[in-house]
Chain A
């Protein structure tokens, strides 16, 4: 009870400071109670007298850990601002208990005081009104919460949005659906249907006029309730659930792409429709043809290589024909002066005699040491090849006799 002001004055005060009340209401909505620091922050720019009046008029009450907007005022502000915390379905199920209890008592009424029956009917009517209002504000609030999540105005990350969407579905929307679902035996709607059937009979049968009128009034509300609950149930199934589901789908798609884009070139990808050129031949023909063609791809390269080499190269110049000299030595043996023979053989066979060639020919003897034996003779011999002059010993070379093959005599 407001002791320090007339009711209309308190209402005007509320009007004058509506912005402040809105701020306080939102703080309370968020935190359940307005902490002292938050309260001071909100009222910082207000005159002290305003804070004092707020408390004097009991629009706001002080509590040990902060402030609260007085409950009737809070309800009024909630109605004005159309901002609520959605009720947990558990909070709504208390109505079922109340309905059930009242219904039982009304049915059980025999010869008691007629007044208590009238009061119970009034109470039922009152509870039902409250229930309907709560359900309606609840669905509208849930719808708003879902839309807020959907539009992502708060720029909440995907995983968080999915979590919140799941939370809404699991704890609010699906239980609410169960309460409203007339098919479920435990639902409030189902109970109200039973009440409706009873009330429909009693509004004609009851002997007392006043009670009949009350039954009649309740009957009307129940009929209206049916339509209103059906509407809310539709909002839940047609709008809320799809909205939340779509939100969940969208977030799932986005987080899926983000996972993919973390390693876009390593992640597996979906199978695509592939183009096939239409052929009348078997499936192996392509591979076979490719193999067949590959051999031609290589051949021209080979030919070019050979042509380039044959033209300028003189094989006699390039290749040391070891076999030729071996045979010549074999035919010439025994040779009186080995190095002179080498010189002559080289001059006869090589187009361009060089020291390198001469040394190669000269070394033949040592490679064939098994077959030949050599003996140093008297004197030396000078040979000039290119610019070098070789001073060489005279050496007689002859083929080894087979029986004396084990004995080797090597020179140098």
Chain B
């Protein structure tokens, strides 16, 4: 018996227990059998166990080089180091599906253990929904996309992982992004349960707050790592190209971001119920749509995946999800009335609503651009596509408005804010932004659009830092040191201040995007001989020669160059190419990225000839490091919001009633309460 046989058996058992969970949960609730409902918790854990077993079986097949398993032979070879052999697990479609199904089982198990906090009546439906999704994936795994399928003849060695995947990014980006996609299932399961049970108040939202924050943070990390990977491997000097595959990952992230904001409106004021449900369901549907789109090959992408009839399965599943959710919506629509009304657009909920419209607008634009080839092929019988300029030109103005809203929003009170008090909070940041707009041209920012972008970012960053400063100052006046005051603010109002970190991170990221898209320089050399040089942005690159390194499984060609700046030798760099023996037509690049003063010098060996001739492409990418810093800050902020609050004593509980970030019923919140210097 092979490990792969064990894997197949584990998959079938997991399928059986998943189906049992659905039936037992639904019947248990209908016929009111608490024992049956209770048994579903155990059966979910059993599913998790068998998925773990299946994963272990595939991992064992990889690590023991069992090339009789077709998937193992396709994805790995003996020459690969053990960590890439293990990572080859999710290098192909079958394995990534297994990984997805496994993570869903793990998340379901985490839910089982934390389900005491969820509304009790919803739990069986949540488990049933999660297992419904799990059933779909396991069904696909045992039918069309079985990673354990054995070939008749077992080859002596495998083909090996695609060279582009032999990269540290491989160890982190796919598992995070797949986990992010998968994690939208949990909020979706809650939404379904809330619709079925009719408990549509803010309870279910509170229960999924941390789940949705986790989803958002994981997806953010996945997107960021994808961008970083593309930047340091693909050699075109950029990190985002609006390819359908990238869009697929961005779409659910956008709707989840919208949801994280609008959920606060419902928790606080009981409004936007339909909208919140829609966003949660849309996030899940978009994550399934994204997978469908990239797998089915209906949309042409620069990435080509192994197309298979799996697309049809996903499409069917997507249709089921949409029909099922719409049906539930129609069924529960009468109960989805808002409890309160909007008062003024100049209020916290007003800005949240505008932010939601912007984010959904961005989602729509991205989706439109992505499916545009399908729309045109269907309606005018002529396929047309839109490229990156479309996305850039649509997204840029929307992002600018979004960032302004981000700066203004936290300064507004719930219900309504007077213009006078808003101005009191905003005049400092507004003046700073104006100063920024005037100063920037002196530093060479002559492009008006870039200047507007930078100034808007300065405005929002200042507004948030000013807000933070005021909070610290008030606590300081009560006798706390500034550092302690800052710590206490984050400790007590974690969600609020974590949100500020995310916002600051986004501002930094946008600054990086503006910098790299408006001020990028590029030089492509002619074939340089040893000793010749080229210049870019004040840097002089001198080519010295090529080094050839032979390995068992690959050949590496490395060019040696010097970077000179201002008459000084700054450093030696070694951009190169690697050609794996199994993939002679797919050289991968070793790109030399050198960061000087918040700008990257991105050096790429485009061609070489013998040991003394090379063609070099150099990009000068200002502010790209800010993209990574900002992204990391967003993830830190997300974790900060997500981080569990400590259980408080009764005394501090009482205090929290008046604290910002805790609930104040609508009528009371009209007055601006000041606590810790933060206006509520």
Q: Do they bind each other? A: no
Please list the residues of chain B having a beta carbon within 8 angstroms of any beta carbon in chain A: none
